[in-house]
Amino acid sequence: MSRAPNYEFQEWWNKQRDKDLELLPQPSSDIPLNSTSFLSVQISSDPTVDKGRARSARQLSWLCLLRFQHIAASIASLTTAFFSLIRTANRRISSPDSAADSSSSRLYRAIKAFLVVVLLLLSIELVAYFKGWHFRPPSVASATEVLGMVGFVYANWLDIRANYLAPPLQSLTNVCIVLFLIQSVDRIALILGCFWIKFRRLKPVALMEYAADAENANADYYPMVLVQIPMCNEREVYQQSIAAVCIQDWPKERMLVQVLDDSDDLDVQLLIKAEVQKWQQRGVHILYRHRLIRTGYKAGNLKSAMSCDYVKDYEFVAIFDADFQPGPDFLKKTIPYFKGNDDLALVQTRWSFVNKDENLLTRLQNINLSFHFEVEQQVNGMFINFFGFNGTAGVWRIKALEECGGWLERTTVEDMDIAVRAHLCGWKFIYLNDVKCLCELPESYEAYKKQQHRWHSGPMQLFRLCFVDILRSKVSLAKKANLIFLFFLLRKLILPFYSFTLFCIILPMTMFMPEAHLPAWVVCYVPGIMSILNILPAPRSFPFIVPYLLFENTMSVTKFNAMISGLFRFGSSYEWIVTKKLGRSSETDLVAFEKESDPLMENISLPRSSSDSGLEELNKLEMSKKTGKSRRNRLYRKELALAFILLTASVRSLLSAQGIHFYFLLFQGFSFLVVGLDLIGEQVS
């Protein structure tokens, strides 16, 4: 039943609607009557009419208090973030946690003091610049009366700078320039020697060659070869190194592989044992050796292995670090050179890098090492039959090792040590530039820095220890001079000294002491020419010539610190840190190794129980391999401090309108900043 309509309410509603329509403005003629414009409300305000309500003093107080609270909260948040950043930076700064930084802390304190001095000098120069004294320097006599106390201080500073500070700085500058030129002449001589070798097509010649099929040849025709693989916690690369050695095309009964494991990680030890057991079951003569006490690092490891009784049955020993992958014909290409050369102690091969294009850091390393192998090693090996052993990818005559005293644990460059001693005993070396052995470059700056520290502190340790032995040796005077002046002093001591002193200390100081002048050709032209010469062996790297020049100067602080620590026997000079490897090539190469090894092992019957246990152990331990950890960059304080020094000096250079010096300081400062913030290469966990 529907409800009856309420006519009284409808009549009232109509009246109210008519009143409201009279109050609204009439619609224009162009707007239809059925439009909904009558629903809009027009609000007008009369400025003469008071709003009625104004904000009270209490409301304003609360509003101000609220805004102050917001400001205080923002300041507190920024302060918390700032201190959090400082704490994070402090955790990531390369602090003296290890022995490697014991001397580094001394150098850092000196650099920090230098930074304070540079900032103070820049403040003085800015005051003088804005007062107009920069273009018309005041004299001491007139400064007090005309310019006041500040002018008097600045005038006295100019007098002290010109008469007492600039002359010794200029003398040091001249000494470094002379050293720079001598080292440049040495580089040019090496390049000319390399060109002569290429032009005349000179290379060592072997008196014999081995047959293509070593398994079917007469085994007595092949000498007994011992192959050593020293390693320490090499979880990422142990498989590829063992596999590459075990598939050598050499009679199995004439080769013994020693896996010399110094690992202190139990899981890594078990993984390597399982890998050795797998190759034992395939018929390879391979042994696993582990030392309980890791004394002498790699030298102690090799010395311990050479003390085994069965070593006397072998004539040669080939050494490969854990990340090296020699080709199957490595022994066939190196052993023949010993035939008929009874005074030959070492055959060294070239390194080839599987990850040279991985990032900018590996590209720059490839430039340096290409010059080292293509030029330095090849020229020295061809003309004087001596060079520093690279510690791996080489074959030694065991008789030569025993005659020169064997492996010694007195330095961290045991390879260079034994090479120098063998050279002093009259043995000769051969370098094979066309025989390459694959290996891996460090991809993080931290790993590269530790490697360079060891490579530059060790030679200075060795120089102190063998200097008297060189003088007393029976080798010719020319060989003594080559060892002392070229091999040690010029290439191991002078190079890091002048590069750090000239470009990181003297150049910034000459900006604040213009009386001591550093010519533009020393800053730009000669380093540019040297960089071009260094990059010639790696022509594909020419686009990276400017980063290479800047990075080499940036690395000078690490090399200088290492040289000082080795020369003066600081604790860091005897520290050995295994270079971090990532095993870039292991996944693909292991498959190839397995395929190549199958034809060699297809006729060998394996005990099933032993094989099953070995594979079961291997599969179990493979699950314990490191998973990808989060990686973060570190902060390197020496590099950051030097970045601020160079950038501060670039500001001073800008004030005096020195073009080439300004650009060099600016770009070099930014390169130090990039390295100090660990923005080059892979980051480490």
Show which residues are catalytic.
262, 415
Buried b (16+ CB within 10 A) or exposed e, 136-164: eebeeeebeeebeeebbebbebbeebeee
CA 391 to chain centre: 20
How far is residue 521's CA from residue 660's CA, in Å, rounded to a whole number?
10
Cβ–Cβ under 8 Å, residues 121 and 512? yes
C-alpha to C-alpha distances, 250 to 221, 226, 314, nearest whole angstrom? 11, 12, 14
C-alpha to C-alpha distances, 415 to 22, 43, 409, nearest whole angstrom? 108, 94, 11
Residue 524 class from Cβ within 10 Å (0-12 exposed, 13-18 middle, 19+ buried)?
middle
How far is residue 83's CA from residue 31's CA, in Å, rounded to a whole number?
67
Beta pairing, strands 316-319 & 394-397: antiparallel
| Other C-beta atoms lying within 10 Å of the C-beta of residue 211 | 13
Closest CA to 491 of 269, 179, 85: 179
C-alpha to C-alpha distances, 293 to 200, 266, 290, 453, 647, nearest whole angstrom? 51, 14, 9, 24, 48
The 3-state DSSP class for residue 20 equals helix
What is the Cα gyration radius of the chain? 37
The 3-state DSSP class for residue 71 equals helix
CA 430 to chain centre: 30
- Looking at residue 8, its amino acid is E
CA 219 to chain centre: 45
Cβ–Cβ under 8 Å, residues 323 and 440? yes
Cβ–Cβ under 8 Å, residues 89 and 634? no
Cβ–Cβ under 8 Å, residues 396 and 447? no
The 3-state DSSP class for residue 635 equals strand
How far is residue 28's CA from residue 648's CA, in Å, rounded to a whole number?
74
Cβ–Cβ under 8 Å, residues 274 and 617? yes
C-alpha to C-alpha distances, 71 to 59, 63, 66, nearest whole angstrom? 19, 13, 9
- Which residues are CB-contacts of 215 (< 8 A; sequence separation ≥ 6)? 251, 600
The neighbouring-strand residues paired with 623 are none
How far is residue 262's CA from residue 245's CA, in Å, rounded to a whole number?
19
How far is residue 287's CA from residue 228's CA, in Å, rounded to a whole number?
10
- Which residues are CB-contacts of 273 (< 8 A; sequence separation ≥ 6)? 288, 617
How far is residue 247's CA from residue 601's CA, in Å, rounded to a whole number?
10
Cβ–Cβ under 8 Å, residues 684 and 580? yes
Closest CA to 425 of 410, 407, 405: 405
